[in-house]
Structure 1
Amino acid sequence: MSPHLSLRFRRPFAPAAVALAGGLLAAGCALPPATPGPDLSPVPMQDPGSPLTEGWQHGAFMEVFVRAYADSDGDGIGDLRGLTSKLDHLQRLGVRGLWLMPVTANADGDHGYATTDFRAIAPEYGTLADFDDLIRQAHARGIGVIMDYVINHSAAAHPLFVAARQGPASPFRDWFVWADAAPAGWDIWGNNPWYHTASQPWLHGGDPKTLARPAPGARDFYFATFGPQMPDFNFRHPAVMDYHASSLRFWLNRGLDGFRLDAVPHLIENNATDWNDQPESRALTAGIQRLVKAYSRRYTVCEATAQPLDYAQPGLCGAAFAFGLESALVQAAQGDAAAVAKVASYTAGAPASALANIGTFLANHDKFTGRRLMDQLRGDAAAYRLAAATYLLLPGTPTIYYGEEIGQAGAAGLAEDPEIRGPMSWTADATTGGFTTGRPFRALASNLATHNVAAQEADPTSLLHHYRALLALRNQHPAVARGSFRQARAEGATLTFQRQLGSDHLVMAYNYGRSPARLALAGLPAGARLQPLLRTDAPAALRADGSGNAPADLAAQSFAVWQVLPAGAP
């Protein structure tokens, strides 16, 4: 037995136990009375096709925390019916994809990443019928829907783990990761990921660092990358991947358009040093993408914080979020010259095959990427507009975090992740924010009175209309969604680049500084005419000289987009 396998199993492989689990999977049989009863039946592929247009996934996405988006029944918790009722808002905004944070049954009753049933909807969110209706209604508006699939781990309350922790005789023991004694030397983000089973650490609600240390000689530990409430699956056990493959097909067969795959670099750990982004994890991820892409017009995007450009390659995940770029974008929007240079070098230096599939964003549901954008920018409206105008027009697939389009701030009086996961601000109602007719499950945004959908709908100069204009430009010009990226140039607090697909040729220019700037646009066709499409101040057409250069004057904290037309164009 190899050293890494000795960490993955508390004991050598138990063929009888594996045969039992595998047989149950293959036959779809009911589990014995003493074992858990989730649906482990195999699910064959039944592709329902797709009503979406080819390339829909190159449009902008909206990330939605269903619990915080819209409540349809007055219980103070957002749900699927509430989200469905707001699809017109997303359609008017111009998004082409909707990413749902976890909607499956879970033990945490909040974020949803502690899954208790991979084939069921969380009861507080609704039913499978509600889910199916959401898919139908979104498709009718040209919007694809993907959802978080939390493949790395389950909840400690998942029936499979409850059975597995009973002891070595459990037929599901090898679905998780065990060690007789706590392995030494492990440190994942400041925590030892091995937890003493008999101490029931999953009942501990605080920081894992505050758990009492097991007594010397304690036996029986399980592995949990993200804390004791979420034990890792053992992906060296074939039945585990078989189960997840069937669960993925369960949703794809219903018409779901794909997945955001959570924490895929952590699927397999080899030892205390080689635990992140191992070759085995990459192989599993590539296999998952092949499974999903076997269906019509489906999409996968991965959370892979260490090497997102690798995971964005077509042969691995096919798309991945650009972790690290988001902070540069936010700092650049505030005039930080070093950050502007980083934005230019990141995009210009990335392989074209990865850059086309990278997932850009400014903020998301995890506090480690930053607070709500309005809070990061300390209310600087001009910088906010510049940040949006930059990432929405860069290569890749941008994801807007719900409420970002109206400048929603964090939830009043809260900190950490709850601060950035507050109810959506639909109206200025100080009690409900238009989110519910009842009592909201969490505090409302601190800037609710001014930054809400109703107020911004009525103001054509609002941030909401700014986002709509940017997405309209993106949707009308294929060069933005799928075109090449070239002539990227950062100079001080200014940035210019070009996007082109066939005859659709655009030039983007940004002045993030607090003073006017003259930018040198280069690499244009000789004599080309630059027709303004979108800019902060009064539009101005430009003409390139015989060498393909054109000077452009931009006011402080402003941007402009021009369409490049042939020299003979009027």
Structure 2
Amino acid sequence: MTLFESPQPAPAKARERTERWWHRATGYQIYPRSFADSNGDGVGDIPGIISRLGHLADLGVGFVWLSPVYASPMVDNGYDIADYRDIAPEFGTLADMDRLIAEARERGIGIVMDLVVNHSSSLHAWFQAARRSREAPEHDYYIWRDPAPDGGPPDDQRAAFGGPAWTFVEEVGRYYFHYFSPAQPDLNWQTRALREEVYDMMRWWLDRGIAGFRMDVISLIGKDVDARVYEEGPDLHRFLQEMHREVLAGRDIVTIGESWSVSPDTGLLYCGRDRKELDMVFEFSHIREGWHPERGKFAPKPFELAGFKRALFAWQDLTRHDGWHALFLSNHDLPRQVSFYADDQEHRRAAARMLATVLHLLKGTPFIYQGEEIGMTNARFDRIDQYRDLETLNHFEEQIALGVPPEEFILGANRNSRDNSRTPMQWSSGANAGFSSGTPWIEMNPNAERINVEQDMLHPESVFAHYRHLVRLRRDHDVISFGETEPLLMDDPAIMAFQRRLGGTRVLVAGNFTGEEQHVNLPDTVHGEGSCLIASHSARERIGPDLRLAPFESFALLIEEA
């Protein structure tokens, strides 16, 4: 067997399981504003995405999670929706969206929409009616409280994006609650009519042919504001089960929830096979390992592999026999993974390949965030006026008011700001990296001329080719899609290692997270003769008791036992 060959399909006995199409698929997230601009206005759009479907088909992904393209004032770049059944003009038209769904399907790619129903835009027709009269039916679609005795907010709750969580509306003499920003009033899921509106909208999109939903901060919809219980509130799972019953049941789609609070203790409540809620959930325990425990994401903290491994492997253990895991290191809310977890300078290409290897060979559905497949890096802006992210700008004002030096905040933003992942996709070495013929809505990464799809595909150790191979391995190998995960070397501060096992087949995986050569002291029980599925440099000849991995090197060995 050569390095890039796949074995024959496993015997029928090994396939006796309940299998869904997304078990073998790899997802790809598109942030539309920054993916491909077709008309030169500096903003990515749906026709631009259509023009790049060949790239996604070549990569081999099974579905695309599309960040919001709905009509929106764009206060939070589309996560503030003014009309759930229309498309923002800067992104195109509903006809463009239908064409994207159809042309992607022709290439074997499903389109997964971003469902943002914890909150709407303050410009949504529902909220406009709600703020005009307490008697309007839509008034109950949102969370209102009367003023405190002194006329101020009902309490001192704070919004996640900074400032008070309550905003006063003079017309009705009440305050409305917004977990994020005043432009994003929270929907009141206790109102049955509101839930029916949401379910009808979901059915409308599914009937247009989409492949499912990624559900934004879905763990917030069951909140109890008065008790200050936001995440995983008392009615969350009742609402999710109702949603499944009313909308999702019987459809061959995929549903992915997002929760910043879910843990191994609560994970199977979302995605257990008998729960009838969601197929999988994005959880962030491994992400939080890189945050300062008190000052949060904007305070730099050195990456520590030990905690990262504990978090990832806890979820591998949880989903050993039930549920499913969404695997990711990057998305539109997070920094570029090669910059955060590894080395985006001297060893960038090897580091990008290594991170892909250890993530994609775990059990679950992997997600690739646009640009990750070529090793794109953080932007490292110098000034706050280069940032566009609402969260970053609001927290800058708060931190400066508290006496944090601007340069210290910028240091943290360069590591963790959401704008690190939102600089435009780097397609070529041409003007604006082939993203747009106009001026991009946010500055290009200065390294775009040398880090782009065009240049990467010419390199003998192409990051893109490595990702394409990993996508194919998951599709072709039962052990990668369904095998159990056994962690190895948990106390090793430099090496992440594990093996996957299904029947008589094993895959042994190891990656070096450092810029130094490392000796990998694998237990005697895991050695074996096999074919190297993934290797860098000459690791194929060196796998054995005295294995040494070069900086950021990784390998995966397929072992067929007698």
CA distance in structure 2 between the aligned counterparts of 1:154 and 1:340, rounded to whole angstroms: 34
**1:420 maps to 2:421:** yes
More contact order relative to length (CA 8 Å, sep ≥ 6): 2
CA contact (8 A) 1:325 1:360 kept: no
How big is each residue's C-alpha offset from its partner over 1:78-101, in whole Å with a ceiling of 9 and x where there is no partner?
A: 111110111111121122221000
CA distance in structure 2 between the aligned counterparts of 1:424 and 1:512, rounded to whole angstroms: 26
One of 59, 72, 75 as aligned partner of 2:25:
59
Residue 33 of structure 1 is matched in structure 2 by none
Q: CA deviation at 1:183?
A: 2.2
Q: Percent identity?
A: 30
CA contact (8 A) 1:425 1:452 kept: yes
Change (3 A) 1:162 1:522: farther
Residue 471 of structure 2 is matched in structure 1 by 471
Indicate the SS of the match to 1:363. coil
One of 533, 548, 553 as aligned partner of 2:547:
553
Indicate the SS of the match to 1:510. strand
CA distance in structure 2 between the aligned counterparts of 1:223 and 1:365, rounded to whole angstroms: 25
**1:455 maps to 2:455:** yes
Residue 565 of structure 1 is matched in structure 2 by 560
How big is each residue's C-alpha offset from its partner over 1:23-66, in whole Å with a ceiling of 9 and x where there is no partner?
A: xxxxxxxxxxxxxxxxxxxxxxxxxxxxxx94235422111111
Which region of structure 1 is more displaced relative to structure 2, 125-134 or 236-245? 125-134
Which region of structure 1 is more displaced relative to structure 2, 403-412 or 299-308? 403-412
CA distance in structure 2 between the aligned counterparts of 1:404 and 1:515, rounded to whole angstroms: 24
Change (3 A) 1:482 1:144: farther
Amino acid corresponding to residue 362 of structure 2 in structure 1: L
CA contact (8 A) 2:509 2:555 kept: yes
**1:152 maps to 2:154:** no
CA distance in structure 2 between the aligned counterparts of 1:551 and 1:255, rounded to whole angstroms: 52
How big is each residue's C-alpha offset from its partner over 1:105-139, in whole Å with a ceiling of 9 and x where there is no partner?
A: 11216620111111111122122222122112212
CA distance in structure 2 between the aligned counterparts of 1:348 and 1:482, rounded to whole angstroms: 11
Indicate the SS of the match to 2:545. strand
CA distance in structure 2 between the aligned counterparts of 1:522 and 1:138, rounded to whole angstroms: 47
CA distance in structure 2 between the aligned counterparts of 1:170 and 1:387, rounded to whole angstroms: 52
Residue 93 of structure 1 is matched in structure 2 by 59
CA distance in structure 2 between the aligned counterparts of 1:104 and 1:468, rounded to whole angstroms: 30
CA contact (8 A) 1:412 1:446 kept: no
CA distance in structure 2 between the aligned counterparts of 1:180 and 1:145, rounded to whole angstroms: 42
How big is each residue's C-alpha offset from its partner over 1:471-523, in whole Å with a ceiling of 9 and x where there is no partner?
A: 23222212212222125442412232222334543111223342331322455
Q: CA deviation at 1:390?
A: 1.0
CA contact (8 A) 2:261 2:283 kept: no
Q: How many residues end up aligned between the 2 structures?
A: 483
CA contact (8 A) 1:494 1:519 kept: no
Larger radius of gyration: 1
CA contact (8 A) 1:529 1:541 kept: no
CA contact (8 A) 1:308 1:321 kept: no
Q: CA deviation at 1:372?
A: 5.7
CA distance in structure 1 between the aligned counterparts of 2:138 and 2:290, rounded to whole angstroms: 46
List alignment gaps of at least 5 residues for structure 1.
1-52, 200-217, 544-549
CA distance in structure 2 between the aligned counterparts of 1:115 and 1:384, rounded to whole angstroms: 34
CA distance in structure 2 between the aligned counterparts of 1:133 and 1:251, rounded to whole angstroms: 14
CA distance in structure 2 between the aligned counterparts of 1:279 and 1:450, rounded to whole angstroms: 51
Amino acid corresponding to residue 97 of structure 2 in structure 1: F
How big is each residue's C-alpha offset from its partner over 1:547-568, in whole Å with a ceiling of 9 and x where there is no partner?
A: xxx635132332211111234x
1:282-321 maps to which residues of 2 (within 5 A)? 282-307=237-262, 309=264, 310=267, 311-314=270-273, 315=275, 316-321=277-282
One of 392, 396, 399 as aligned partner of 2:364:
396
Indicate the SS of the match to 1:169. coil
CA distance in structure 1 between the aligned counterparts of 2:467 and 2:28, rounded to whole angstroms: 12
Amino acid corresponding to residue 557 of structure 2 in structure 1: W
How big is each residue's C-alpha offset from its partner over 1:325-373, in whole Å with a ceiling of 9 and x where there is no partner?
A: 2465999xx984524642564245424256x52212112111xx43564
RMSD: 2.8
Residue 400 of structure 2 is matched in structure 1 by none
Residue 535 of structure 1 is matched in structure 2 by 535
Indicate the SS of the match to 1:433. helix
List alignment gaps of at least 5 residues for structure 2.
1-18, 148-152, 293-301, 388-416
Change (3 A) 1:476 1:292: farther
Indicate the SS of the match to 1:495. strand
Residue 15 of structure 1 is matched in structure 2 by none
CA contact (8 A) 1:93 1:467 kept: yes
Normalised by the size of structure 1, how large is the TM-score? Answer: 0.78
Change (3 A) 1:488 1:318: farther
CA contact (8 A) 2:326 2:367 kept: yes
Change (3 A) 1:542 1:295: farther
Change (3 A) 1:198 1:161: same
Amino acid corresponding to residue 499 of structure 1 in structure 2: R
